[in-house]
Structure 1
């Protein structure tokens, strides 16, 4: 694409059609001009991330489906982004990072990984294409070839991801201009990063995106303390491992720089580095990298570490539990999972005291490692241990992260996409996450099976609109608007994903000596059976005499030998009949009401809540300074409280949006669930009560002062 051409032009045109076709959102769309850019959440798209493509063309279709980390994940994310935009068209700013390539040798990459590891990745990528042409695996034997792959364009994808990260950080700290600084950003990139260690890849991850984000924010904008909140299904062992390096402990790995191998005391520790990072994760202890039957004792210990403000470490891990009803889950969330926020609050409070004692400025940031593979919509083969979260979780967790950021970081939150491998999980998860990122309410109808199913139809490369639709089928009409918006977000979808179907069809009919590859493989297997020679022996001896087939058969043999559980699963959106569709009149009516019920007043009120917390904290600090200088003048800058208890600040530039519309959908809960509003969590180790906060409380409360490789897909190698 030309650098001069706006990559979002197609999206803008499609968005105009969406507004024209949906009169009920026109007022909300027009309100975009009344809401300052600073009040919107920015969404960063990364077209270059599509260039990381599975390159082993000789493998069977069934094996290719085991490669779940694929470019199509960005298309599914775009569907979720589009769904959020259709609900709140005035609250999001879309930005493409098409003109920004980062560097694998940038200081913020070297600080995390050293120089040896990026150099090794670059070398392997440059050599990948020639190895593939020779029918060889492009990754070292010590890597899990079922999880990680490379091609020469992977370098471009990694540079593009770094550029997208930099764009996201710039947007929340600098912006195009002072009046266009957004406090909240979501960066949709791939491959994920939280399993990547200092000098070792793992679980689809080649660079640790979260820590690169942190270093860039520290180097460029002076961030001193960061909380990482990780809700991916899998433990972010790489991100946590880098926290140990930051604390001054000697890192492990095959590609560690000399600088990271010297200067340690007898206990392999030296002075801790800034920025200081606290890692707070909720995950399934029985999934990668702690899968039963494959996990090492060290990995299980790492995924269960809980330590606060000791040895320069702040790490807290919570394990996911099973639940039966959504009420059960909400109780779990309030009593167990919210502990992460109490611990993060503790980390920030200690950080402020530490910096004050040293006479140094404190500057915080909340980073969310947003993996959506814990979703109720993720494939069962990924969630082999029957623990997950409902879609509404992603809104709840994100809104709690906003509260944490308001208390300690002036509202600065950046979310980096991690896992999530089925179209439904990614689309619904991103949708709910973005609703939470703007402090709005998630409506359970939006996450119903039928609604999500309709949206992910757009992930099919050969998607076509329905030829006919019922006039009152609101869900299908809305879903097709979402699909058109999502598919128009990144022009490169056309070349990488939508044309892939044609490439596959051509590959099926490609011949070798008059035979297709599949025909030749089938005949070779039959010949092997007739002679009594095992298929594996024939592969090793290269008796098939087909350049690319032996490697494929060897990989499949290893997958079956180690019982890799993805071989038969189907994660792509294949064409399916519409015979099972049943029109749900009541769901359509309810869904329509949820959309029409969104009012400008309510949107504004939720956004003001975020601003009020920050401004009150700033005003209180200012009041303290003024009182110390002139006690009689303090009242002039205090906030006033109206009769209904809502605070309005006299001195700030509030963006209450004028509107004659009424507020309904927040006055009456559309989820109609009654949950206890206060809980305590008894920690198993010290039996200390940690008070948690309810949904109406804006504050965090804490009463505490204080290697073997495994494969993400479940096999060994």
Structure 2
């Protein structure tokens, strides 16, 4: 079997104001870094309103669609922007996550990386925020549970910012385990260890500003990986944010490329042992372009190795 890459050129049509960290160049740099790799390359379909309704109410979907401008850029909040093309880009991101689940469930691929934007893990049930419009990782989990009939899906989020949106969308879903490591304190202010979900299905791993790989290894080895094994997932979804990198301008963790590689390798090892290697990874943050490209490539190279 193999590793698939799912993306679409429409994701380059989501434009933010000059100087905004969530820029078109992020995806360009990731795709350039992955270009030499041996990947099954698939096109991201657009998610329908019915698809998005697995995690967002119809009124919210309509509100986001109606907010898209016909020219220029408009702000939904201080961080989150839309331009002509943003709605389709966001639909492609959500559609990529579902297509990835379909690919691993049908054995078309062993694991999948979705290189799309805008990211998704900050989008709450009825609130766009943190550059995000729709909850891609949560949608992948719900699609796997409801469409494919899986019994247990785990979402692991290693973005430097807490995945408050994914946590909100899966809080009351007993079939899903959400594990998130994040710098704490840091925007958006959530992610304390006391936040445990409606069914004890949330595990937050707060990491102190200035900490690095050693602290991350300890948190995952002592808490996250044992909890994941105990849960026995049928699928692992990864929210792959690369802004914990020491070069990233928006936070103060000190991870290196090899830290992302190690964590990916460990998650894939559990997937191999417990769910036939099924891993779906969706791109979240990462705002230093060179660091993003390098760490995303290290992540995908580990997916490829696990997929052999």
- TM-score normalised over the length of structure 1: 0.41
- Report if aligned partners of 1:366, 1:413 keep a CA contact under 8 Å in 2: yes
The residue correspondences of 1:287-686 to structure 2 (distance < 5 A) are 287-290=186-189, 299=190, 302-305=191-194, 307=196, 311-321=198-208, 331-338=214-221, 339-348=223-232, 364-379=234-249, 382-383=250-251, 386-439=252-305, 607=308
In the TM superposition, residue 391 of structure 1 has moved relative to its aligned partner by 1.0
Alignment equivalent of 1:170, drawn from 102, 109, 123? 102
Larger radius of gyration: 1
Is the aligned partner of 1:71 residue 2:3? Answer: no
- Report if aligned partners of 2:94, 2:135 keep a CA contact under 8 Å in 1: no
Q: Which deviations, in whole Å up to 9, do the C-alpha atoms of 1:121-171 show, x marking residues without a partner?
A: 01111xx237x5xxxx734xxx423x1111232122122223322322221
- Report if aligned partners of 1:369, 1:415 keep a CA contact under 8 Å in 2: yes
The SS at the match of 2:70 is: helix
Alignment equivalent of 1:150, drawn from 69, 73, 82? 82
2:11 counterpart residue number: 49
In the TM superposition, residue 316 of structure 1 has moved relative to its aligned partner by 1.1
1:80 counterpart residue number: 33
- Report if aligned partners of 2:54, 2:143 keep a CA contact under 8 Å in 1: no
Paired residues, what number? 307
In the TM superposition, residue 114 of structure 1 has moved relative to its aligned partner by 1.3
CA distance in 2, matches of 1:288, 1:388: 17
1:282 counterpart residue number: 181
- Report if aligned partners of 1:235, 1:303 keep a CA contact under 8 Å in 2: no
Q: Which deviations, in whole Å up to 9, do the C-alpha atoms of 1:29-81 show, x marking residues without a partner?
A: xxxxxxxxx2x111112211112112x6xxxxxxx21x111111111111221
The SS at the match of 2:132 is: coil
- Report if aligned partners of 2:203, 2:224 keep a CA contact under 8 Å in 1: yes
CA distance in 2, matches of 1:311, 1:414: 24
- Report if aligned partners of 2:94, 2:134 keep a CA contact under 8 Å in 1: no
Alignment equivalent of 1:101, drawn from 46, 49, 58? 46
1:585 counterpart residue number: none
CA distance in 2, matches of 1:236, 1:330: 20
CA distance in 1, matches of 2:256, 2:288: 15
Q: Quick one: structure 1 residues 154 and 289, their matched pair in 2 at CA, closer, same or farther if it must change by over 3 Å?
A: same
1:230 counterpart residue number: 157
2:125 counterpart residue number: 198
Q: Which deviations, in whole Å up to 9, do the C-alpha atoms of 1:399-419 show, x marking residues without a partner?
A: 111121123212110000000
Q: Quick one: structure 1 residues 391 and 419, their matched pair in 2 at CA, closer, same or farther if it must change by over 3 Å?
A: same
Q: Which runs of 5+ in 1 are unaligned?
A: 1-37, 57-63, 176-180, 248-275, 291-298, 349-362, 441-605, 608-717
CA distance in 2, matches of 1:377, 1:330: 14
In the TM superposition, residue 330 of structure 1 has moved relative to its aligned partner by 5.3
Q: Which runs of 5+ in 2 are unaligned?
A: none
The SS at the match of 1:221 is: coil
CA distance in 2, matches of 1:211, 1:138: 26
CA distance in 2, matches of 1:129, 1:333: 44
CA distance in 2, matches of 1:370, 1:330: 16
The SS at the match of 1:168 is: helix
2:61 counterpart residue number: 118
- TM-score normalised over the length of structure 2: 0.91
The SS at the match of 1:431 is: helix
CA distance in 1, matches of 2:70, 2:210: 47
In the TM superposition, residue 277 of structure 1 has moved relative to its aligned partner by 0.9
In the TM superposition, residue 311 of structure 1 has moved relative to its aligned partner by 4.8
Q: Quick one: structure 1 residues 305 and 437, their matched pair in 2 at CA, closer, same or farther if it must change by over 3 Å?
A: farther
Whichever structure has more helix as a proportion of its residues is 1
In the TM superposition, residue 280 of structure 1 has moved relative to its aligned partner by 0.6
- Report if aligned partners of 2:245, 2:253 keep a CA contact under 8 Å in 1: no
Q: Quick one: structure 1 residues 152 and 330, their matched pair in 2 at CA, closer, same or farther if it must change by over 3 Å?
A: closer
The SS at the match of 2:269 is: helix
CA distance in 2, matches of 1:365, 1:79: 28
CA distance in 2, matches of 1:236, 1:408: 25
The SS at the match of 1:192 is: coil
In the TM superposition, residue 320 of structure 1 has moved relative to its aligned partner by 2.2
CA distance in 2, matches of 1:438, 1:150: 34
- Report if aligned partners of 1:41, 1:438 keep a CA contact under 8 Å in 2: yes
- Report if aligned partners of 2:153, 2:234 keep a CA contact under 8 Å in 1: yes
